[in-house]
Amino acid sequence: MNKELEKKVSRLQSDFESAKKSWRTLKSQVVPDAPDLESLENPQIFKSFEFLPDEQRGVIENQQKLTQLYLTFKSNFSELQEQVAVAPQALSEKESEFVIKILDEMILVLRRQLNEFNQTKSVFETSWQFYNARLQDFAILRSSTTQNSNSSSFADLDSIVEVSATQTETENLPIGSVVLLKKRTVDIPIMIIASSKISENESKKEYSAVIYPAGYTEGSHIFSFDYKDIDKVLFRGYKG
């Protein structure tokens, strides 16, 4: 077998070992159950989390696809190794070129399969992190709502500033400001992190915010709203 082909097989062997290590880790990742929103005392408050069961299914499907891709790759790589092992060392030039061409094509197929495996691995890791971050947001919201659905988590702060949002309709709230919304789809304070839309799935809004005090973590739900949607300003961020 020619030297170039040997190098390709050797590199593929190394990448295969890396893929095997990743797969063993990721196949054992536990995907937490999605909460049953219908069983909650006030499911309307948690409306922004209604797609958690779908997100959970998506994560599990990615995990299953990862396993299927790995097992297919493993099987085909074993076949390549067998072909390389039985390839006659003493062939005519024409026969040698034919064998090398077949093996080279097998390697190209395996490379494509490995690329798909790595892409799915990336999708799974991202979706798993996003789903877990969303569950954390949900847990914080549920805990705050259970403790006291009518009070804010700012109750212990000496610097509470409660201002009706209707007093100044054109006020530009700085980043770091903490507010309560009128519709109360979320019944705890949220903190403004941007004065423009972040999520491309929503129509353009003046502000974007995350649950307080959790703040922003990868995969956190982003709330988009306008100033007119604010019920109370609990705290104004720094305005230089």
| DSSP state string for 110-160 | HHHHHHHHHHHHHHHHHHHHHHHHHHHHHHHHHHHHHH-TTS-TTTT-TT-
Residues 21, 64 within the same domain = yes
- 186: its two tokens: 């979320």
Model confidence band, residue 66 (pLDDT cutoffs 50, 70, 90): very high
What's the length of the chain?
240
Q: Angle CA(137)–CA(133)–CA(24) in degrees, nearest 5?
A: 150
Q: Does 158 fall in a domain?
A: no
Residues 17, 60 within the same domain = yes
| 58 vs 42: CA distance, rounded Å | 26
| Stronger pLDDT, 161 or 52, i.e. the higher one | 52
DSSP state of 168: -
Residues 8, 109 within the same domain = yes
Residues 139, 182 within the same domain = no
pLDDT in tens, 68-118: 999 999 999 999 888 887 776 656 667 777 888 888 899 999 999 999 999
Q: What is the pLDDT of residue 158?
A: 36
Q: What is the pLDDT of residue 26?
A: 92
Model confidence band, residue 187 (pLDDT cutoffs 50, 70, 90): low
pLDDT in tens, 11-49: 999 999 999 999 999 988 899 999 888 888 777 777 778
pLDDT in tens, 188-223: 788 888 887 554 555 677 888 888 766 776 666 788
pTM tops 0.75, yes or no: no
Q: Does 18 fall in a domain?
A: yes
Residue 92: domain span:
3-147
Residues 123, 192 within the same domain = no
pLDDT in tens, 117-171: 999 999 999 889 888 888 888 887 777 666 544 444 444 433 334 444 444 455 6
**CA of 10: how far to CAs of 73, 85, 206, in Å?**
15, 13, 55
Q: What is the pLDDT of residue 184?
A: 56
Task: State which amino acid sits at residue 21.
Answer: K
| Pairing label, strands 190-194, 163-164 | unpaired
Indicate the number of domains in the chain: 2
Backbone angles phi, psi at 12, to 5 degrees: -65, -35
Q: Are residues 23 and 65 in contact, defined by beta-carbon separation less than 8 angstroms?
A: no
Q: Does 240 fall in a domain?
A: no
The residue from 116, 147, 178 where one domain ends is 147
Residues 98, 130 within the same domain = yes
| 128 vs 31: CA distance, rounded Å | 7
